[in-house]
Chains A and B, each alone.
Chain A
Amino acid sequence: MTQFFQQVINGLSIGSVYALMAVGYSLVYSIMNFSNFAHGGVIMLGAYFGFFSLTLLHLPFLAAFLLASIGTTILAIVVERIAYKPLRERKAPFLYFIISAMGASILLENIVIATIGPTFRTYPEVFARTPISIGPLAIGRLDLLMFVISAVCLTALILFIEKTKMGKAIQAAAYNIKACALMGINTDKVILIVFGLGGFLAGVAGVFFGMKYTVYPQIGNITTKSFIAAVFGGLGSLPGAVLGSVILGILETFVAGYLSSQYRDLIAFVILIGVLIIRPSGIMGKNTEDKA
């Protein structure tokens, strides 16, 4: 039983980081109806920004965190301006967005390989590795922090979307972006904010990911799993993305803990196919029948 709860704790902590990434995919999907595969590249660069602000600039942890997030916010917006805005203006079909996103992802990954190098880098130790123990259970300090900060960020995001005027505009744009523009909402600005928000959370997630594992140019491939979590929860739905991420995180740690860690990645893709067959709109997604 102890092992069971231990796995749940581990799953929650990784699931919360998945949620930070998945929300970025979902936000963009809800407004623009395409899967932004460049998001993985933005997360990867977030991990690098954090790494260099800690090692080269010797910034305190929180400042490094902030710097990384601001960096990815700007980066996500730049990607949008260069790779998607011309397509938006031409009203290109979703496929062109996806290919453009793939191009951006290849570009970001290889810029890093060319300038920083393909080597794996380990974050300096910011927190002691000794876990905090609650009875028989052990929680890593980093895991706890990951969970808390992710929860704070996600709550702030949901409050922003529910309570502010801009949040309302985002909701409206997700419902119908054309009607939104007719009602006098500056949809270009809405899209900018959405990419900025996704980028900011990508930075937070990237730093955590780098701290938990290592930093390397192909992190983007792992973030595909958070995309799966977003599909699982229902693309375009924020609570869905969070729920899907937590469930995926817990399932993964269970598979790794009870079966074999080799099947950990496989389970994510099996879930993906399963969800698409049984309920393509995911747990909480809006009905996608007849979008065409």
Chain B
Amino acid sequence: MDWTYIQGILMLAGINLISVLGLSLLTGFTGLFSFGHAGFMAIGAYIGALMTVSPSTTPAGLGLPFFVGIIAGGAAAGIVSYFIGRITLSLKGDYFCIATLGFGEATRLLLNNVQIFGGSRGWPGVPYKSTLPVIVLVDVVAVLFLANLIKSRHGRNMIAVREEELAAQVSGIDVFKYKMTALIISAVYAGVAGVFFGHYMTFIQPKMFSMTKSTELTIIVIFGGLGSISGSVLGAVLLTALPEILRAFEIWRLVFYGAAVILIMISRPKGLMGGMELTPSGIRKAQLERKARLEARAEARRLNGLEDGSADEGRGA
């Protein structure tokens, strides 16, 4: 295990984390589920590469600095998400999910046919620009932005939309606007992640951004726990590293992965950290809740005892 290998895994985890954070806002805090965020990543990756690839390798390349690529990739994904949101956000639950799935796959299939970008054969020659410090920096900025957003009035409105859409609307929250904001922010995050991904792999291919990738992102969010930023961070690091740890099992590792997903869903649906945060105040809150729960249980047991265990008999019958 040399440093380059570990660094590679950390970089991939960091890149995944950027898009997972965005998805966490959309899914964990606003309650919308997407199976198409790989599409936004693809848009980011291709637009970002378009900016930075030198014109000598690809005629379409602009040869601009990396940060222009990051901004352009994020912005492009954000703009596309606005139009996608306009037409799909009024759909209910499952149907929004299916629409995003359609968007993601349509993006991939369209890119398969864009010959300037190499079509389905892929686009080699993207400059290697993603370095660990830059990725960590972007991750930190992304986490701070998200944490502050969620604490703000806007964030609380999003949570209200997740909890009870109708009640939120009645209380005067512009549900559509907050869904749209969450979608755009998550798309920008995914787009930026796409730019880093392209500049890490130095080769992009539409196949990399399939539905499997979108599913993987959603699985990370759920695994980490809905409505928890620290859960998303833990989830991104653990689940990116997991296939590498399981590499010894070679072809069986994805079998374990699939089984693990089902197991989490049926046994611990809250994920690792559902609704909790790994901050001093978050831990204190969790401890208080745990204490209250234990006390309530003790009280219930005491009351059961008073009734001479008749409650237990009732349960047995």
A interface residues, Cβ below 8 angstroms from B: 33-35, 82-83, 86-87, 90, 92, 94-96, 98-100, 102-111, 113-114, 221, 224, 228, 231, 235, 262-263, 265-266, 269-270, 272-273, 276-277, 280, 288-292
Contacts and interface: CB of A to CB of B under 8 A. Distances in A.
A99 B266 contact: no
B283 interface: no
5 contacts: A103-B260, A106-B215, A110-B255, A231-B98, A276-B98
A98 B87 contact: no
A108 B267 CA distance: 20
Given A92-B269, A292-B165, A110 B254 contact: yes
Contacts of A96: 265, 269
B32 to A, nearest CB: 10
Contacts of A280: 91-92, 95
B110 interface: yes
B102 A269 contact: yes
Given A110-B258, A114-B251, A224-B105, A276 B113 contact: no
A272 B102 contact: yes
A99 B219 contact: yes
Contacts of A90: 269
B45 interface: no
A280 B88 CA distance: 10
A240 B150 CA distance: 42
B99 interface: yes
Given A83-B265, A273-B102, A288-B95, A103 B251 contact: no
B166 interface: yes
B105 A269 contact: yes
B149 interface: no
Contacts of A109: 254, 258
B196 interface: no
B33 A98 contact: yes
Contacts of B102: 228, 269, 272-273, 276
A228 B109 CA distance: 15
Nearest to B102: A272
Interface residues of B, number: 41
Interface string B96-116: 011101110110011011000
Nearest to A262: B113
A94 B269 CA distance: 12
Contacts of A269: 102, 105-106, 109
A291 B93 CA distance: 8
A283 to B, nearest CB: 15
B126 interface: no
A140 B68 CA distance: 56
Contact of B94 (A94, A105, A108, A272): A94
Contacts of B103: 273
Contacts of B255: 107, 110-111, 114
A26 B73 CA distance: 38
Given A94-B93, A263-B113, A290-B92, 12 more contacts: A33-B94, A92-B269, A99-B222, A106-B258, A114-B252, A262-B113, A266-B106, A266-B110, A272-B98, A276-B102, A280-B91, A291-B93
B116 to A, nearest CB: 16
A96 B101 CA distance: 16
B259 interface: yes
Nearest to A291: B92
B300 interface: no
Interface in B243-269: 251-252, 254-255, 257-262, 265-267, 269
Nearest to A225: B105
B218 interface: yes
A77 to B, nearest CB: 16
A280 B89 CA distance: 12
Contacts of A95: 33, 97, 222
Contacts of A99: 218-219, 222, 261, 265
B211 interface: yes
B259 A107 contact: yes
Interface in B265-279: 265-267, 269
A221 B105 CA distance: 11
Interface in B213-260: 215, 218-219, 222, 251-252, 254-255, 257-260
Contacts of A114: 251-252, 254-255
Nearest to A95: B33
Contacts of B260: 103
Given A100-B261, A102-B261, A224-B105, A292 B92 contact: yes
A288 B96 CA distance: 12
Given A98-B97, A106-B258, A276-B98, A270 B106 contact: yes
A95 B99 CA distance: 15
Contacts of A273: 87, 99, 102-103, 106
Given A87-B265, A266-B110, A276-B88, A103 B258 contact: yes
A25 to B, nearest CB: 11
Contacts of A235: 94
Q: Which of B110, B166, B215 has the most CB of A within 10 A?
A: B215
A82 B102 CA distance: 28
Contacts of B254: 106, 109-110, 113-114
B98 A83 contact: no
Q: Which of A34, A110, A111, A263 has the most CB of B within 10 A?
A: A110
